[in-house]
Amino acid sequence: MSFLGMDHGTREIRFYLIPENAGFSVPRSKAAREGVLQEIERRVELAKIELAGITYSMGDALTAITRIDKVKNRGVLPGGGAGEHVGGGTRAYDELAASGIKAVVIPGLHRNIASLDERMRALYSHMASAEKVSIAYDAYLKVKRELGAKSFIVSDISSNTVSVAVKSGRIIGAIDACLGAIGIFHGPLDLEAIRRIDRGEVTAGEAFSRAGAVKIYPFSDLREILEPKNERAKLALNALVLSVEMEIRSLTALVEPEAIVITGGAGVNDAVFSRLAERLRELAPVLRTDEYSAARGSAEIARAVYEGEREILGIRVEV
């Protein structure tokens, strides 16, 4: 008996199997060309997968963790989302939907998710894409196991940055990539970006995709920022850390955290994590997960649903 989790990430599609505790990834471009079922079958017989947990894009058409055969348009409202579209995630979703594997689709965080603080729902139409729910569940299991706690803030720092607030085991708020901290590539639009959009120089999506640390120090290799060798690169790293710290601290208006969890491809890097841990340990113990947090959380959600849970972090389950 196995449970599969899928994380529709920005650059790669990551998978995780439990109880095998095996993670693997497929670049989105490769998934678009070749699909993903062969990669899964190399690790486990499809017939042994009892249930899969799937994240796909914004997840803003869903208000509950929903059986895949009940989901329309892959759980996304018309108009899609921000950022680059490659097609790998779409093919992976469609392959799994047609494979015969039982699966549930995990929603994103938006104003129709009942567990969210009503003020957040009034402020923002969308707060986090679907994989952030899975990251929050992975963090919840870690914080509960290691600290016996259920209230925390988790920040996922990678191509973009999104942070989620969990209070007493329920998601109550989140700050999306276009609202708060910058990531490596993506970030909120400042006045300069809005003016460029108004002049017709870039689209809003293009501006969003170049509003992260890359706008401070354009790089050809991510190590140029994470292992900075000049003052401009150091500034980009320090600005990234500052913006994430500001975002995490802002969520303390919603929850008094018993832990802070850092994850994401950039977040788990020592250059980012050590700086944040030093700055934030006054608030609560600072933990980190790994790059498979979302995929593992998706698999854990699938296992919990299979075992009969009808609510995950305050989000309903409909099967």
d(CA 186, CA 177): 7
Per-residue model confidence (pLDDT) at position 33: 84
Per-residue model confidence (pLDDT) at position 82: 52
DSSP string, 57-125: TT-TT-SSEEEGGG-SGGG--TT--SS---SHHHHHHHHHHHS---EEE---EETT-TTS-HHHHHH-S
Tokens of 148: 């016996």
Residue 108 in this model has a pLDDT that exceeds 60: yes
Per-residue model confidence (pLDDT) at position 78: 85
Quote the mean pLDDT of the chain. 94
DSSP string, 139-191: HHHHHHHHH----EEEEEESSSEEEEEEETTEEEEEE-TTTS---SS-----H
Binning pLDDT at 50, 70 and 90, where does residue 87 land? low
Q: Tens digit of pLDDT for each residue in 141-175?
A: 999 999 999 999 999 999 999 999 999 999 999 99
Whether 132 and 235 have beta carbons less than 8 Å apart is answered as no
Per-residue model confidence (pLDDT) at position 90: 86
The CATH code that applies to domain 108-288 is: 3.30.420.40
Tokens of 72: 């329309």
Residue 89 in this model has a pLDDT that exceeds 90: no
Q: What is the mean pLDDT of residues 215-232?
A: 96
Whether 97 and 68 have beta carbons less than 8 Å apart is answered as yes
Question: What 3-state class would DSSP assign to 3?
Answer: strand
Pick among 3.40.50.720, 3.30.420.40, 3.30.70.600, 3.30.70.20: CATH of 1-107+292-319: 3.30.420.40
d(CA 268, CA 265): 6
Q: Give the 3-state secondary structure of 122-133.
A: HHCCEEECHHHH
Instruction: Give, in degrees to the nearest 5, the angle at Cα 5 between 312 and 170.
Output: 20
Full-model pTM: 0.94
Instruction: For residue 23, count CB atoms less than 10 angstroms from its CB and return exposed for 0-12, middle for 13-18, buried for 19 or more.
Output: buried
Tell me the domain boundaries of the chain.
1-107+292-319, 108-288
Q: Is there a common fold for 1-107+292-319 and 108-288?
A: yes
Per-residue model confidence (pLDDT) at position 34: 80
